Amino acid sequence: MGKRRISSEALAIPMSSMIDVTFLLLIYFIVTKREEIPEAHLAVNLPSPNAHATKVDEKPNLLEIEVHPGQFYLKKTPQTLPQLEAMLAKLAAYDPDQTVIIKTSLKAQTQELVQVLDLCKGLNLTKLNVMTLK
């Protein structure tokens, strides 16, 4: 009595459905993949509720920047962004601990405020305060 041969087709693992699922997964990940945007956070100091007002005898070294729509002012002098950067670099080199007050017009765009905050951070001016220009 001869041995019956096992069909090689019957031994194969059915891959078709597994491949379907794998392709579905692949398409899903391709479609939902989004580029990670590197986000930076620029601190805006609001008064802390725990901070108590302290009397300071000497006048603090304040640097005042005004942000208007399409225009910046440093100590009331109109500046373009590159001019402001150059002036701030000089002032930061003189005294990096000075407090910078950024007065922003309600009509200015957010990116104009961000540009000034970014400049100050780049020059290691960390004592930043944002105020609203009314």
Residues that bind other proteins (CB under 8 A): 1, 3-4, 6-7, 10-11, 13-14, 17-18, 21-22, 24-25, 28-29, 32, 34, 37-50, 67, 104-115, 117-119, 121-122, 130, 132
In this structure, the strands spanning 99-105 and 128-133 are parallel
Output 47 or 60, the one with its CB closest to other proteins: 47
Burial class (CB in 10 A: 0-12, 13-18, 19+), 72: buried
Radius of gyration of the chain (CA): 31
Q: How far is the CB of 58 from other proteins (least distance, A)?
A: 25
- Residues 125 and 92 sit within 8 Å (Cβ to Cβ): yes
Closer residue to other proteins in complex, CB, 74/133: 133
